[in-house]
């Protein structure tokens, strides 16, 4: 019987079962737009926000903390994931406009200062309003992993920016109004800071028969959590042209009036495979960027070789998360439950079975002739007349308001925008 703490059996890759067909009962996207942002009173908890000293040098951290499973009976729950709050600098993915267009490329924006918490608060307010419209007074808000990017902070030797105080305020306000706030652990934040939330290894809802976890344990490249996985070492190590990925993103590649950070969008790429990464390196190469590398083609070749040397085969296939969700829902306490994950930054919608909420950061596609996708998916699950209602939406339209309406629409988004096969 699988449990939230049982290792996923990588040695026996599960066969992805055929999902159930869509039918006329598939929930439709609500048509009403997002309400205005929430406004907060000054937060006075007696604790510095964000807190200081909640992590130390990565090599002294030891084993990741063990968090428990949290079970709730709320009749409505809002899921978001992968906010990636960081140090407030050019590589902070939760800042608005942290990437700006320069010709056919998107590069780091040193002038970005405002966070996306206002947009997130609109999503929260929307969820509360929707719940109240069907007689539900209390919701749960689940941050489903990679909320604070500890890996990036460690790689850059920096601390969480006080610009992100607004997220703490939002969560504090929710709890003050009687709502639940849960912070689920992820591979970028295996240590959860103290704050206005309940830390959790995973979230279960017995009323909605819904189970949420980050999903990183189904990803060989990013498991186990902590600093030992291949993914963590790529972010923390100094094996990419003498830089870690965390520092490569924030290096100045062109000085003077044309100051630019050409590598700042590297971790926003999708699909995140060796070919796309290589194309990004080639497109963003600046002559003289790396003294020992003579050309863009040489930089691309060397980078792909470095990835191969650490066993990185790319992540253009995100089916392992879905396979893990099916494995979880085959037996025991979660048999037949709805499964929710994040981690991959690529949305999935298989109604009544599985959702992936993607990311609340921008996604960069088609290196060299680039498009920045700012979709910011979220999932609202509610009990309405004894039935589970699932609403999967984007906080900002991708091309039209129906993009996240149903499974077929999400699969079109996956294939034609993100470059991933349908699920």
Buried b (16+ CB within 10 A) or exposed e, 93-114: bbbeebbbeeeebbbbbbebee
Percent of residues in the chain assigned helix, strand, coil, to nearest 5? 25, 20, 55
Which of the four pLDDT bands, split at 50, 70 and 90, describes residue 341? Answer: very high
Cβ neighbour number for residue 287 with a 10 Å cutoff = 9
Distance CA 340, CA 342 (A): 7
Distance CA 171, CA 45 (A): 12
Domains of the chain, start order: 72-223+340-418 (3.60.21)
Which of the four pLDDT bands, split at 50, 70 and 90, describes residue 293? Answer: confident
Provide mean pLDDT across the span 347-375: 94
**What six digits make up the tokens of 327?**
């494995």
Residue corresponding to tokens 């939406």: 393
- Secondary structure (3-state) at 202: strand
Question: How far is C-alpha 181 from the chain's CA centre?
Answer: 17
**E strand or H helix that includes residue 154:** helix 150-156
| Per-residue model confidence (pLDDT) at position 34 | 80
Give the angle 101-419-336 at the CA atoms, nearest 5°: 125
In the predicted structure, residue 418 carries a pLDDT above the cut 60: yes
Which of the four pLDDT bands, split at 50, 70 and 90, describes residue 285? Answer: confident
**What six digits make up the tokens of 275?**
């070919």
Q: Out of 1-10, 118-127, 222-231, 350-359, pick the least confident.
A: 1-10
The phi, psi pair for 318, rounded to 5°, reads -110, 25
Provide mean pLDDT across the span 344-359: 96
- Secondary structure (3-state) at 305: helix
The phi, psi pair for 294, rounded to 5°, reads -90, -20
Per-residue pLDDT tens digits for 42-87: 555 555 566 666 665 555 556 678 899 999 999 999 999 999 999 9
345 and 358 in contact (C-beta within 8 Å)? yes
Using CA atoms, how far residue 296 sits from 54, 68, 250, 280, 288, in Å, is 40, 48, 19, 10, 10
Per-residue pLDDT tens digits for 363-397: 999 999 999 999 899 999 999 999 999 999 988 76
Provide mean pLDDT across the span 84-103: 92
- HSE of 404, CA atoms in CB hemisphere, 13 A: 26
Provide mean pLDDT across the span 178-195: 95
190 and 65 in contact (C-beta within 8 Å)? yes
In the predicted structure, residue 344 carries a pLDDT above the cut 90: yes
| Per-residue model confidence (pLDDT) at position 314 | 59
366 and 265 in contact (C-beta within 8 Å)? no
Per-residue pLDDT tens digits for 320-338: 999 999 999 987 789 999 9
In this structure, the dihedral spanned by the alpha carbons of residues 8, 14, 16 and 18, taken in order and rounded to 10 degrees, is -110
pTM of the model: 0.89
DSSP state of 415: I
| Per-residue model confidence (pLDDT) at position 233 | 82
45 and 353 in contact (C-beta within 8 Å)? no
Longest CA–CA separation in the chain, Å: 66
| Per-residue model confidence (pLDDT) at position 32 | 46
Cβ neighbour number for residue 314 with a 10 Å cutoff = 17
DSSP state of 24: T
In the predicted structure, residue 28 carries a pLDDT above the cut 80: no
Which of the four pLDDT bands, split at 50, 70 and 90, describes residue 11? Answer: very low
Q: Is the dihedral of CA 61, 313, 215, 119 positive or negative?
A: positive
Per-residue pLDDT tens digits for 212-261: 999 999 998 888 998 888 888 888 875 666 677 777 787 777 666 666 78
| Per-residue model confidence (pLDDT) at position 346 | 93
- The share of the chain scoring above pLDDT 70, in percent, equals 80
Residues 6+ apart with CB under 8 A from 385: none
Report for 179-188, 278-287, 316-325: range of highest mean pLDDT = 179-188
Instruction: List strand residue ranges (DSSP E) for 33-91, in order.
Output: 69-72, 76-80
By CB atoms closer than 10 A (0-12, 13-18, 19+), residue 356 is: buried
| Per-residue model confidence (pLDDT) at position 313 | 61
């Amino acid at each position: 019987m699988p449990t939230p703490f049982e290792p996923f059996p990588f040695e026996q890759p599960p066969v992805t079962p055929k999902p159930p067909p869509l039918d006329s009962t598939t929930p439709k996207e609500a048509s009403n737009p997002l309400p205005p942002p929430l406004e907060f009173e000054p937060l006075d908890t007696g604790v510095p926000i964000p807190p200081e000293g909640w992590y130390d040098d990565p090599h002294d951290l030891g084993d990741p903390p063990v968090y428990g499973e949290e079970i709730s009976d709320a009749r409505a729950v809002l899921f978001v994931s992968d906010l990636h709050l960081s140090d407030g600098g050019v590589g902070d993915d939760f800042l608005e406009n942290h990437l700006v267009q320069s010709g056919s490329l998107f590069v780091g924006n040193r002038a970005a200062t405002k966070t996306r918490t206002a947009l997130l608060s609109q999503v929260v307010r929307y969820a509360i309003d929707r719940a109240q419209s069907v007689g539900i007074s209390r919701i749960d808000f689940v941050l489903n992993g990679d909320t604070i990017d500890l890996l990036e902070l460690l790689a850059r030797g920096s601390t969480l920016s006080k610009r992100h105080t607004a997220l703490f305020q939002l969560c504090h306000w929710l709890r003050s109004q009687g709502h639940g706030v849960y912070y689920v652990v992820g591979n970028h934040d295996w240590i959860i800071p103290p704050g206005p939330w309940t830390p959790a290894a995973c979230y279960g809802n017995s009323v909605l028969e819904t189970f949420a976890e980050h999903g990183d344990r189904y990803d060989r490249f990013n498991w186990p959590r902590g600093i030992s996985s291949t993914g963590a070492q790529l972010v923390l190590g100094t094996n990419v042209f003498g830089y870690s990925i965390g520092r490569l993103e924030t290096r100045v590649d062109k000085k003077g009036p044309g100051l630019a950070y050409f590598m700042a969008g590297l971790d926003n790429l999708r699909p995140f495979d060796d070919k796309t990464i290589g194309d990004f390196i080639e497109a963003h190469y600046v002559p003289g960027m790396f003294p020992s590398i003579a050309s863009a083609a040489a930089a691309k070749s060397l980078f792909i070789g470095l990835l191969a040397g650490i066993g990185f085969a790319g992540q253009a296939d995100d089916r392992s998360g879905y396979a893990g969700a099916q494995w979880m829902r085959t037996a025991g306490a979660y048999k037949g439950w709805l499964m929710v994950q994040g981690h991959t930054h690529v949305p999935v919608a298989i109604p009544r079975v599985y959702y992936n909420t993607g990311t609340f950061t921008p996604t960069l596609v088609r290196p060299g002739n680039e498009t920045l996708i700012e979709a910011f998916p979220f999932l609202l699950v509610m009990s309405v007349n004894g039935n589970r209602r699932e609403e999967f939406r984007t906080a900002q339209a991708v091309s039209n308001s129906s993009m996240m309406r149903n499974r077929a629409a999400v699969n079109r988004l996956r294939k034609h925008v993100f470059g991933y096969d349908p699920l």
